[in-house]
Structure 1
Amino acid sequence: MADWVKNGHLTAGGKSLEYACWGPAPSQAPTLVLLHEGLGSVAQWKDVPERLADMTGFGVVAYSRAGYGASDPVDLPRPLSYQTDEATGTLGEVLDALGIDHAVLMGHSDGATIAAIYAGSVSDMRVRGLILIAPHFFTEPAGLAAIAEAGRSYASGDLKDRLGKYHSNVDVAFNGWHDVWTDPAYKAWNVADVIDHWRIPVLAIQGTDDPYGSLAQIEEIDSRIYAPLETLIVEGCGHAPHHEKPEQTCNAIVEFCARLHRLEVEAVSLA
């Protein structure tokens, strides 16, 4: 992309995807690429992208995956491999479309898993680090129960109305996520082997009171990783530390990005 257009649509994975950018262009600074949760979108990051652009000096870009926000819809049901499909079939094209050549992938929940799969499955020297917020690599009974409860809230509570503010086709957004996770075959889903292949620094962030995933997800990273790992365990926090504990979470992200950038600069000077 010749110009760092602040918002619009790009084409990746055969779909038109909405995106928004903050801060300097890829030619001027590294770029934080934000990947949203299973019911998220560009707008649902709220003030986090602008805050991180200001605090890090990096460019920041967020996009809504197909089926979310103002991006193109998808056909349902989604395949059980939808997270791997997004990582291996679309994410690289997003980086291409935006002209990003020095990226840190920052994902939340499903987005963290997609970032993790990309880093462990695709050889892409543009990606220099991973920030994983509430990642999941395998299912847990409590998390599956929380998703089933979300389904009941969507059917008879106010969740549909709340999500409808952010998604052009809210039924596609919700059912595309919920119906995969509640499929009996999905209990066996496990992508933890991607951790074995990471060769870039990682910051993993997890709330202690997250109903969708436990510290077992972070312990899985720690037990398998061969790359540098930093962790932030946020006490008294649920599924979205960047919203629930923004100061603590954003400070950790900023410090991680600063260390990454300093290592890059030192490596260049030594070369």
Structure 2
Amino acid sequence: MQSSLVEIPFDNRRIRIEYQWLRPERARRPLVVFLHEGLGSVSMWRDFPREFCEAGDYRGLVFSRYGYGRSTPRPHEEKWRPDFMHRQAREAMPALFDALDIGPGRAHGMPWLLGHSDGGSIALIHAASFPQAVAGIIVLAPHIVVEDLSVRSIAGTRQAYLETDLRQRLARHHDDVDSAFWGWNDIWLDPEFRQWDLRPLLSGLRCPVLAVQGEDDEYGTMAQIEGIHRYAPQTTLLKLARCGHSPHRDQKDPLTLAAVRHINAYTSNLK
């Protein structure tokens, strides 16, 4: 499916955001917004958003954040700050939702957010910051604190980018692959980022939450989703065996089954 571009205000300028609607004809069904990982994009999701929406009979929106995919690239001299995920959740996403008429009382209604890795963290920040604007969230391998395991694995990804064909493989999904990679990698390995911590925000979550973690995740431990449950007791936990950092690829079927049940449990019988 062809992507579209929309302009939004961000950081005192106008930027382009790549997006795709999925099954827009199902206008009365829940809308699921997919938030990609730290090296993701619209195309990096592959078929999962479409298959997920078909499984639950949902509408979907997939988009590439600033610096990723076909969205406006990050200038190479621009360094992300430790609050980069907060800015995406509190500034860029509301601007995008305004531009696409998403939200309470708007054409597309209140969304469900399904976020992976950094996208899961952004979903948590957005839902805690705008509790009346989100129907619920599903977070796959989210980060709420920076663990030593995460830093070691991200340092290993840096070496792979420099020494293997990882750069070439990622380049298929980004207009400026170096913009996407170094923006993410540099801030995660910045010593200042070690103090990043979402736990003070989590008690602000009011919506239903499904938090998913693979037992073999090389970027985070079960402490991440258990921490969400500690601060937001309405959270349902899903721990998946034989699953690494990408539950939607490693355990797609059990994830889809649980996530569809989760959404449907909190959704009225819309046709």
Q: When the two structures are superposed, what TM-score results if normalisation uses the length of structure 1?
A: 0.91
Give the one of 118, 121, 136 matched to 1:113: 121
Give the one of 201, 218, 234 matched to 1:194: 201
Aligned pair 1:63/2:59, yes or no? no
Aligned pair 1:185/2:187, yes or no? no
1:219: which partner in 2? 226
Aligned pair 1:140/2:147, yes or no? yes
1:82: which partner in 2? 84
Q: Distance in 2 between matches of 1:54 and 1:214?
A: 31
2:105: which partner in 1? none
Q: CA deviation at 1:189?
A: 1.1
1:10: which partner in 2? 6
Q: Distance in 2 between matches of 1:6 and 1:94?
A: 18
1:247 maps to a residue whose letter is D
Q: CA deviation at 1:121?
A: 1.6
1:237: which partner in 2? 243
1:200 maps to a residue whose letter is C
**1:57/1:40 CA distance change after superposition, 3 Å:** same
Q: Which runs of 4+ in 1 moved over 4 A?
A: none
Give the one of 254, 258, 264 matched to 1:252: 258
Q: Distance in 2 between matches of 1:25 and 1:88?
A: 29
Q: Distance in 2 between matches of 1:6 and 1:118?
A: 27
1:33 maps to a residue whose letter is V
Contact kept, 8 Å, 2:229 with 2:237, in 1: the verdict is no
Unaligned runs of 5+ in 1: 266-271
SS of match in other structure, 2:32:
strand
Contact kept, 8 Å, 2:86 with 2:125, in 1: the verdict is yes
**1:51/1:200 CA distance change after superposition, 3 Å:** same
SS of match in other structure, 1:11:
strand
Q: CA deviation at 1:236?
A: 1.4
Q: CA deviation at 1:171?
A: 0.3
Deviations 1:18-73 (A, max 9, x none): 11111135842221000000000000111111111211111011100011001001
Q: When the two structures are superposed, what TM-score results if normalisation uses the length of structure 2?
A: 0.91
Q: Distance in 1 between matches of 2:193 and 2:133?
A: 32
2:106: which partner in 1? none
What RMSD in Å do the two structures reach over aligned CA positions?
A: 1.6
Q: Distance in 2 between matches of 1:220 and 1:140?
A: 13
Contact kept, 8 Å, 2:124 with 2:202, in 1: the verdict is yes
**1:99/1:25 CA distance change after superposition, 3 Å:** farther
* Segment drifting more, 23-32 vs 65-74: 23-32
SS of match in other structure, 2:267:
helix
Q: Distance in 2 between matches of 1:169 and 1:25?
A: 33
Q: Distance in 2 between matches of 1:155 and 1:91?
A: 32
Q: Distance in 2 between matches of 1:6 and 1:67?
A: 19
Q: CA deviation at 1:130?
A: 0.6
Q: Distance in 1 between matches of 2:133 and 2:128?
A: 14
2:150 maps to a residue whose letter is G
Q: CA deviation at 1:6?
A: 7.0
Q: Distance in 1 between matches of 2:139 and 2:225?
A: 10
Identity of aligned residues (%): 34
Contact kept, 8 Å, 2:127 with 2:133, in 1: the verdict is no
- Greater share of helix: 1
Unaligned runs of 5+ in 2: 103-108
Aligned pair 1:28/2:34, yes or no? no
Task: Count matched residues.
Answer: 258
1:94: which partner in 2? 96
SS of match in other structure, 1:10:
strand
Q: CA deviation at 1:99?
A: 2.0
Q: Distance in 1 between matches of 2:206 and 2:193?
A: 28
SS of match in other structure, 2:19:
strand
